[in-house]
């Protein structure tokens, strides 16, 4: 499973990329607002750090506006992936972006398997089902991931499942068990994956015993 980080915080991205953990980055208008930066400047800075796909989202809601914005975002860097919403204009733009701009696309704000089916038929590179927001409404976000996985496998669709709106390490594990292609994870959640109290306890005990040997390796 590929790990993308879900943030526009350049410092966080640089730190995680230095750990060799990142296969890409996803941003959205809310994350750009949170970054306090200009979308073009922030996206360019992120693309200079991470080699993988960096999702930058259009904000127009009509096809023509989406294409204008996608053309502008694509000029920022070769690894900019254009994010469009799961609407009919977004799906139309998805096809056109792949065809006319030859760019990857990430269809976002997906909340059902049927929406994901439409995105695959539109040739989306990635589909972003929002697990956490489904859970917040009392639905089962992981069930939607499982349904999409089965449908995509039934028809051998190329679209990659990019699990989004991830809120916990358990979400990450369950996405991997189901076979999501990518998980886009908030920085804190990504860092938390490495933590286990028994690891900390065991390392402390090893070091204490090693100190008693009086030895040095180098």
Q: Which residue, 143, 196, 141, 176, is CA-closest to 3?
A: 176
Contacts of 39 (CB under 8 A, 6+ apart): 32, 56, 73
Residue 35 near ligand G3P by CB under 6 A: no
Which residue in the set 5, 8, 28, 172 belongs to the binding site for ligand G3P (CB under 6 A)?
28
Query: Restricting to residues 124-143, which ones interact with ligand G3P according to CB under 6 A?
Result: 128, 130, 132-133
Tell me if residue 83 is catalytic: yes
| Site membership for ligand G3P, residue 6 (CB under 6 A) | yes
Q: Which residue from 22, 56, 144, 164 is in contact with ligand G3P, where contact means CB under 6 A?
A: 164
Catalytic pick among 75, 83, 195, 212: 83
CB of 28 to ligand G3P, least distance (A): 5
Q: How far is the CB of 155 from ligand G3P (least distance, A)?
A: 25
For 195, the token pair is: 């933590």
Contact status, residue 57 vs residue 27, Cβ threshold 8 Å: yes
Closest distance to ligand G3P from the beta carbon of 130 (Å)? 5
Rounded least distance, CB 193 to ligand G3P, Å:
17
Q: Does 115 bind ligand G3P (CB under 6 A)?
A: no
Q: Does 29 bind ligand G3P (CB under 6 A)?
A: no
Cα–Cα distance for residue pair 168/204, rounded to 1 Å:
26
Distance CA 186, CA 166 (A): 7
Given a contact cutoff of 8 angstroms between Cβ atoms, the answer to whether 105 and 94 are in contact is yes
**Under rule CB under 6 A, residue 189 binds ligand G3P:** no
> Closer CB to ligand G3P, residue 141 or residue 199?
141
Residues 6+ apart with CB under 8 A from 190: 3, 5, 16, 21
Q: Give residue 215's Cα distance to chain centre.
A: 46
d(CA 87, CA 119): 9
- Evaluate whether 164 touches 4 at the Cβ level (below 8 Å): no
- We find the least distance from the C-beta atom of residue 144 to ligand G3P, in angstroms, to be 14
Can residue 26 be called a binding residue for ligand G3P (CB under 6 A)?
A: yes
Instruction: Please give the positions annotated as active site.
Output: 83
Which residues lie near ligand G3P (CB under 6 A)?
6, 26, 28, 128, 130, 132-133, 164-165, 184
């Amino acid at each position: 499973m590929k790990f993308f980080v879900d943030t526009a915080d350049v410092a966080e991205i640089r730190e995680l990329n230095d750990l060799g953990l990142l296969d890409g980055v996803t941003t959205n208008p809310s994350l750009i607002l949170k970054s306090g930066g200009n979308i073009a400047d922030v996206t360019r800075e992120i693309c200079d750090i991470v080699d993988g796909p960096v999702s930058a989202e259009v904000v127009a809601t009509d096809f023509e506006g989406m294409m204008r914005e996608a053309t502008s975002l694509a000029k920022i860097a070769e690894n900019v992936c254009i994010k469009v919403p799961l609407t009919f204009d977004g799906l139309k733009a998805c096809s056109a972006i792949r065809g006319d701009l030859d760019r990857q696309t990430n269809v976002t704000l997906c909340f059902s398997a049927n929406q994901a089916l439409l995105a695959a038929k539109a040739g989306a590179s990635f589909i972003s089902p929002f697990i956490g927001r489904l859970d917040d409404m009392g639905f089962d976000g992981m069930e939607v991931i499982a349904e999409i996985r089965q449908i995509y496998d039934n028809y051998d669709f190329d679209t990659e499942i990019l699990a989004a709106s991830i809120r916990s390490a358990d979400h990450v594990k369950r996405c991997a068990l189901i076979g999501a292609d990518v998980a886009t994870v908030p920085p804190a959640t990504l860092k938390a994956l490495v933590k286990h109290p028994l690891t900390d306890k065991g390392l402390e005990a090893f070091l204490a015993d090693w100190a008693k040997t009086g030895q040095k390796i180098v």
